[in-house]
Amino acid sequence: MRCAAFSRAHTQWRIREIMGKTEKIHLAETPEEQKAWMAQWRSAEIALRQVKREELRAMTDEDAVAAFNALETPPEFAYGV
Q: What is the DSSP letter of 35?
A: H
| 20-55 per-position pLDDT tens digit | 665 666 677 889 988 988 888 888 888 888 888 998
pLDDT score of 2 more than 60: no
- Domain spans of the chain, in order of start: 4-20+30-73
Question: What is the rounded distance in angstroms from the CA atom of residue 15 to the CA atom of residue 69?
Answer: 26
Using CA atoms, how far residue 48 sits from 8, 11, 18, 26, 55, in Å, is: 11, 7, 9, 20, 10
pLDDT score of 12 more than 60: yes
Q: Which of 57, 60, 47 is nearest to 21 (CA)?
A: 47
